Homo-oligomer: A and B are copies of this chain.
Amino acid sequence: MPSRYDDVMSLSVRRGFLWPAVDLYGGSAGFYDYGHLGARLKRKWEDLWTGYFLGLGDNYYLIDTTTILPEVSLKASGHVDHFTDILVTCTKCKESFRGDHLIEAVTHEEAEGLTTAEVDAKIVELKIRCPKCKGELGPSRPFNMMFPVGVGPLGKDRAYLRPETAQGAFLNFKREFEALRRRLPLGLAIVGRAYRNEISPRQGVYRMREFLQAELQIFFDPATFGAQLPIDSVRDERLRVAMAGEKHEPIATDRTTSDLIRGGIPGFYVYHMALVQRFYLDRLRVPRERFRFAELDERERAFYHKVHFDIQVRQDSLGGFREVGGVHYRTDHDISGHAKASGKDLSVPVADRKVVPHVLELSFGVDRNVWALLDLDYELAGERAVLHLPPALAPVDVGVFPLLSKAGLPERAEALYRDLRPGFDAFYDETGSIGKRYARMDEIGTPFCVTVDHATLEDGTVTLRERDTSGQVRVPGTSVAAILRDLIDARRDFRSIGSAVARP
C-alpha cells in the first residue's frame, strides 16, 4: 500500500477510528473494528446518508432484515450459481489468489470477467508464477464468495450470510407495498452488514470480508417513473464521468445531464446520478476533481444491470480512483426472479394495469466511504495534523476547555460542557497546554473549540475557535449553543461570527 495508507491507518489506530479486528490474537484478515471515534463518524455518515436519500421521495423508508438467508432465496437471486470469483492455487505453497488480480498485477489492465479458460491461457501466456513462492500455479476454478451457514440442530438447513443487503428489500417488497398503501415509486433502504469470503483480502479497509452497505432500492413503474421526477431541476448540471473504455486515470470529463440523456442513458438514471454527485460534492465535501462516475462495460457489469456506473473517489492511500458505491438499473430482474422461484405473483396494480416493478439501486459501501473521508480530509503539514471533516460528520462537535486549570476556570468550563452535552458531542479537557489541546482536537476533526478564560468570569464571553483556519472570535457564553448549531448545520459561516458579536 502507498505510504499515505500507513499515515491514515496510524491516525486511525492511535486515536480510535478503526483498526484490524482481533489483533490481540494476531488479527483476522479482511476484518476491521471501529473504535469510539470511528463508530461515531460512521453513525453520522449513516444518518446523513439516510436523511439525504430517503428525502428523495415521500414513500422511501428504512427497513432492517436478517443477514442469514436460506439457500432457496439466494438460489433464486442467482448468487448460489453465479456469485463467484476465479480461484488459482499454487501447487507448491498452496496459497490461493484471485485469477484476475494475478493478471492485472502484470498487465495493469482490468481483467474482471474473464472465464476460467481465459485465466488459464493468460497465466501460460504471461508466464505468471506464484507471487509468494514462485511455484507453479494450478488450474483455475470458480469459487463462490458466500459464507455457508448450517442452521438448526443438525445444521441441515443450508443458508448463507447475505452477500448484499439488497435481497432483504426484494424479499420484503410486496409486504411493504401493501403496508404502505400500494404506491409507486416505493423506496426501501437497508443499512447493514454484508459478507463476502474474499480470496485474498490484502487491500486493507478496501476489500473486507465483513462490511457495511447502505443501499436504497427504488421500485418503480418504468412507464411513468421519468415523468414523476423533477428531472428539469438537474438540467444542464455538469457531471464528472468516465465512460467505459476511457476509465484510466486521470480521465474524467464533465458531461451535462442533457448530453448523457441524449447518449441513451434513461432520464431517471441521470437524475439520480446528479443527486448522488451533489451528495458527494456538497454534503461530503469531496473535491470535484477527486470524484467521478465510471461506466462499466458489458463484460464487467452483472448481466442484469442494464446501466451501471461505479461511484469513485480518488484516494492517495489506495493509489487512485476507487469504488465507493454504484448506481445500478437492475430492471425487473430481481422481482421477476423471486416471483418465478417462489411461485407467487409479485406484480402490483397500477391504475388498471399489472406492473412488475423495475428497480434502481443506489448502493454505497459505508466503510469505503468512511475511509475515503479519512484519506481526503487528513492533512499532515509539518507539525500540524488536521482532519478537515465536514462539521456535520465530525465525531466530536466541540471541545470545551478552561484556559488554565485553576482560579475557578475549570468549574465554569465544566458547567458549559454540561450545558452543551445533551445537544452536542462535546469533549471536556483541562490537561496540558491550550495549544496541545487544540492540536488534539484538530487531529480528530473537531470543528470547533470553546475556551473559558479570566474574561469569562467578568463578562461571560468565551473564545470560539475554528479548526480549519485556527481563527478565533469572542462570543457570549450563552450564545454558544445556538451559534454551534448554525455552524454545524451549515446555516452560517464562521467568518460571519466575528462581526455578528462585535456589536453587542
| Residues of A near any B CB (own CB < 8 A) | 13-16, 19, 21-25, 28-40, 42-43, 58, 61-70, 72-73, 76, 87, 89, 96, 143, 147-155, 157, 159, 161, 168, 171-172, 174-176, 179-180, 188, 193, 195, 197, 199, 209-210, 338, 341-342, 344, 428
- A33 with B70, Cβ < 8 A, contacts A16-B176, A16-B179, A338-B24 known: no
Q: Determine if A24 and B73 form an interchain contact, defined as CB atoms under 8 angstroms apart.
A: yes
Query: Which B residues lie within 8 Å of A66 (CB)?
Result: 21-22, 28, 31-33, 210
A482 to B70, CA, bound (A): 48
Query: Which B residues lie within 8 Å of A32 (CB)?
Result: 66
Query: Which B residues lie within 8 Å of A193 (CB)?
Result: 67, 193
Q: Determine if A34 and B67 form an interchain contact, defined as CB atoms under 8 angstroms apart.
A: no
Query: Which B residues lie within 8 Å of A40 (CB)?
Result: 61-62
Give the residue among A64, A73, A197 with the most B Cβ atoms within 10 A: A64
Per assembly, the copies of the chain total 2
Point out the residue from B28, B76, B151, B157 that lies within 8 Å of A70, measured CB to CB.
B28
| A161 CB → nearest B CB, Å | 7
A58 to B29, CA, bound (A): 34
A153 to B199, CA, bound (A): 5
A386 to B35, CA, bound (A): 41
A67 to B67, CA, bound (A): 11
A179 to B32, CA, bound (A): 17
Q: Determine if A175 and B22 form an interchain contact, defined as CB atoms under 8 angstroms apart.
A: no
Q: Determine if B147 and A153 form an interchain contact, defined as CB atoms under 8 angstroms apart.
A: no
Closest B residue to A17 by CB, please name it.
B179
Query: Which B residues lie within 8 Å of A153 (CB)?
Result: 87, 89, 96, 143, 197, 199
A147 to B153, CA, bound (A): 10
Q: Determine if B197 and A25 form an interchain contact, defined as CB atoms under 8 angstroms apart.
A: no
Query: Which B residues lie within 8 Å of A31 (CB)?
Result: 66, 68
